[in-house]
């Protein structure tokens, strides 16, 4: 779904109390520039403000936010602490400190700041919403839901609070309530209604009635809409048409929606292929490795999006020893920080990394994800794009298990083409030829990984799981070093939070009729050609 979760710096007049007009104007300018992510302009304005009022809480708050945006987190924390000395019960400062601690992996410190922010922002709908966003990031869905509810009590027409509330109801498996929230936002109208339409259909288990279909068609045809609304509405309408077996209409609508989204993205398929080659070469030689027993508490579930990664995680999370942590950003973040430290992009520094370096990175990852093992001894990490980072997983966490989810290539790619992903998550998926090329890159690298480390990687085939669920689930558990538990066969009944587009689907028993690509016949020619291209 399109995320409503962007925190905005703000500088209302009350925050500027006690400042001279010149200083207040500089801080207002800095806040507006930070809102536009104009960091150089914000720094220029803040330089003046720091000279005039260096100890004022609002000066410090915005200075800390600038340092945080620059990636200078230690400096940002120090500035926020000074700001809180000046204004201890400032919810905006507490919120920013909590967000910073999440970025650093400091869960306990983040929660302490966010819980305090909730207390002191009791009458501020926007701050309640923004705190809820950060609690959502931490997977604290009940608390995030409570923030959304409080924001709506204070401001019933707050559209982003409505989206936050629905998102967390969905994560908690309360699908009927989720649909009701989206329908309330649709009835409310306004500029966010398109997100509600998309999110309602994207539940994938909720069907629109005839009047709703007409209303969606009418909105999607509105010539006044911008591309930010046309894209999501097209994906929603395409899904509605496919469910109604209107395949000509569905393909045409999906093609238009993908073209709209693709126009706003940068993607170079040839450059991506070269990147995949560089990753393979970097880990082909004698790469150092952390201690062999490091990482046994983690199971990585990866593969192309829409390849059954959420389903496999749900099966594992139905086991009494496994916590399903969903799509974690921590592995890419650890590697990105190491790249920043070395001044070299990954994987250019791989050959120079020592065993001690890989152990340091592995322990950093385990510390960042420790909260997911507070209740159960093992956890999953099912960020699909980690298929590119298997070499790093093997070097950092040699004892981790890795499950590569495989589904029919045509069905996988068609499912991706029908899905509007979060920004930056799958930029290759909005053009059939580029999508097929990416799948080939995935396929050749994942086959290389499995050939090199056959004892540590399992290719989990979706078709085989449909044909023989118990056999495949037993084999999956054995690969992960887990004793068989009958509850894993009834995975759909497992109670857990799920934060992906398949959240409603995996709460149902295995569905054998999910294949759709064949229904489109020759319309799949471009994709078939791309998948077969050597």
Bridge partner list, 287: none
Q: Are residues 339 and 192 in the same domain?
A: no
pLDDT tens for 499-525 read 555 555 555 667 666 778 999 999 999
Q: Are residues 229 and 371 in the same domain?
A: no
Q: Are residues 210 and 353 in the same domain?
A: no
pLDDT tens for 290-346 read 999 999 999 999 999 999 999 999 999 999 999 999 999 999 999 999 999 999 999
Could you tell me the two tokens for 170? 């969905």
- In whole angstroms, what is the distance from residue 461 CA to residue 526 CA? 25
Could you tell me the two tokens for 101? 């601690």
Residue 110 placed within a domain: no
Element (H, E) at 416: helix 409-417
The pLDDT of 32-44, averaged and rounded, is 94
How does residue 241 score in pLDDT terms, banded at 50, 70 and 90? very high
How does residue 11 score in pLDDT terms, banded at 50, 70 and 90? very low
Closest among 429, 500, 439 to 204, alpha carbons compared? 500
What range does the domain containing 235 cover? 173-264
Neighbour order of strands in the sheet with 401-406: 322-323, 378-381, 298-302, 401-406, 457-461
Q: What is the pLDDT of residue 453?
A: 95
- In whole angstroms, what is the distance from residue 217 CA to residue 532 CA? 36
- Whether 414 and 247 have beta carbons less than 8 Å apart is answered as no
Q: Are residues 273 and 260 in the same domain?
A: no
The pLDDT of 87-97, averaged and rounded, is 94
pLDDT tens for 446-463 read 999 999 999 999 999 999
pLDDT tens for 113-156 read 999 999 998 889 999 999 999 999 888 999 999 999 999 999 99
Residue 41 placed within a domain: no
- In whole angstroms, what is the distance from residue 354 CA to residue 361 CA? 11
Torsion 45-50-51-56 (CA) sign? positive
Q: Are residues 450 and 472 in the same domain?
A: yes
- In whole angstroms, what is the distance from residue 435 CA to residue 294 CA? 35
Q: Are residues 286 and 249 in the same domain?
A: no
Q: What is the pLDDT of residue 474?
A: 97
Residue 227 pLDDT greater than 50, yes or no: yes
Residue 6 pLDDT greater than 80, yes or no: no
Residue 500 placed within a domain: yes
Closest among 75, 32, 24 to 53, alpha carbons compared? 24
Q: Are residues 305 and 196 in the same domain?
A: no
Q: Are residues 241 and 303 in the same domain?
A: no
Q: Are residues 237 and 354 in the same domain?
A: no
Is residue 347 reached through a cis peptide bond, with omega within 30 degrees of 0 on the bond before it? yes
How does residue 7 score in pLDDT terms, banded at 50, 70 and 90? very low
Residue 148 placed within a domain: no
Q: What is the pLDDT of residue 497?
A: 59
- Supply the mean pLDDT for the chain: 92
- In whole angstroms, what is the distance from residue 172 CA to residue 179 CA? 13
Q: What is the pLDDT of residue 495?
A: 61
> How many domains does the chain divide into?
2
Residue 91 placed within a domain: no
């Amino acid at each position: 779904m399109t995320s409503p979760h962007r925190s905005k710096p703000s500088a209302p007049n009350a925050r500027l109390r006690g400042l001279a007009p010149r200083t207040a104007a500089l801080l207002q300018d800095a806040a507006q520039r930070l809102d536009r992510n104009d960091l150089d302009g914000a720094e220029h304005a803040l330089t003046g403000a720091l000279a005039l009022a260096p100890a004022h809480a609002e000066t410090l708050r915005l200075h800390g936010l600038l340092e945080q945006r620059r990636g200078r987190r230690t400096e940002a924390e120090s500035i926020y602490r000074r700001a809180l000395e000046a204004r201890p019960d400032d919810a905006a400062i507490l919120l920013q400190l909590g967000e910073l601690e999440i970025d650093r992996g400091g869960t306990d410190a983040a929660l302490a700041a966010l819980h305090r922010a909730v207390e002191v922002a009791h009458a501020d709908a926007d701050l309640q919403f923004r705190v809820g966003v950060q609690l959502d990031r931490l997977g604290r869905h009940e608390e995030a839901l409570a923030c959304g509810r409080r924001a709506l009590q204070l401001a019933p027409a707050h559209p982003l609070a409505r989206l936050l509330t629905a998102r967390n109801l969905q994560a908690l498996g309360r699908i009927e309530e989720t649909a009701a929230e989206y329908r309330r936002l649709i009835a409310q109208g306004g500029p966010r209604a398109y997100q509600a339409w998309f999110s309602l259909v994207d539940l994938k288990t909720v069907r629109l009635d005839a009047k709703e279909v007409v209303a969606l068609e009418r909105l999607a045809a509105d010539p006044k809409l911008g591309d930010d609304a046309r894209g999501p509405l097209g994906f929603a309408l395409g899904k509605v048409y496919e469910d109604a077996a209107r395949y000509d209409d569905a393909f045409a609508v999906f093609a238009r929606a993908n073209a709209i989204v693709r126009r706003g993205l940068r993607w170079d398929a040839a450059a991506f292929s070269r990147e995949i080659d560089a990753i393979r070469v970097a880990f082909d030689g004698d790469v150092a490795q952390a201690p062999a027993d490091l990482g046994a508490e983690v199971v990585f579930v990866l593969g192309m999006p829409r390849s059954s990664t959420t389903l496999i995680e749900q099966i594992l999370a139905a086991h009494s020893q496994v916590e399903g942590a969903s799509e974690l950003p921590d592995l890419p973040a650890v590697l990105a920080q190491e790249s920043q430290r070395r001044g070299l992009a990954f994987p250019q520094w791989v050959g120079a990394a020592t065993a001690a370096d890989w152990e340091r990175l592995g322990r950093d990852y385990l510390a960042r994800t420790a909260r997911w093992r507070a209740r159960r001894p093992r956890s999953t990490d099912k960020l699909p794009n980690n298929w590119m980072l298997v070499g790093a997983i093997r070097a950092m966490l040699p004892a981790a298990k890795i499950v590569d989810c495989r589904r029919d290539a045509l069905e996988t790619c068609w499912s991706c083409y029908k899905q509007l992903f979060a920004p930056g998550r799958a930029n290759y998926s909005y053009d059939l030829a580029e999508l097929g090329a990416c799948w080939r890159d995935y396929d050749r690298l994942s086959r290389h990984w499995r050939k090199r480390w056959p004892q540590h990687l399992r290719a989990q085939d979706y078709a085989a799981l449909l044909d023989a669920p118990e056999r495949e689930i037993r084999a999956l558990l054995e690969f992960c070093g887990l004793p068989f538990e009958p509850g894993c066969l009834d995975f759909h009944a497992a109670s857990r939070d799920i934060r992906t587009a398949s959240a409603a689907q995996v709460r149902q028993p295995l569905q054998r009729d999910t294949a759709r690509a064949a229904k489109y016949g020759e319309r799949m020619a471009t994709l078939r050609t791309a998948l077969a291209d050597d």
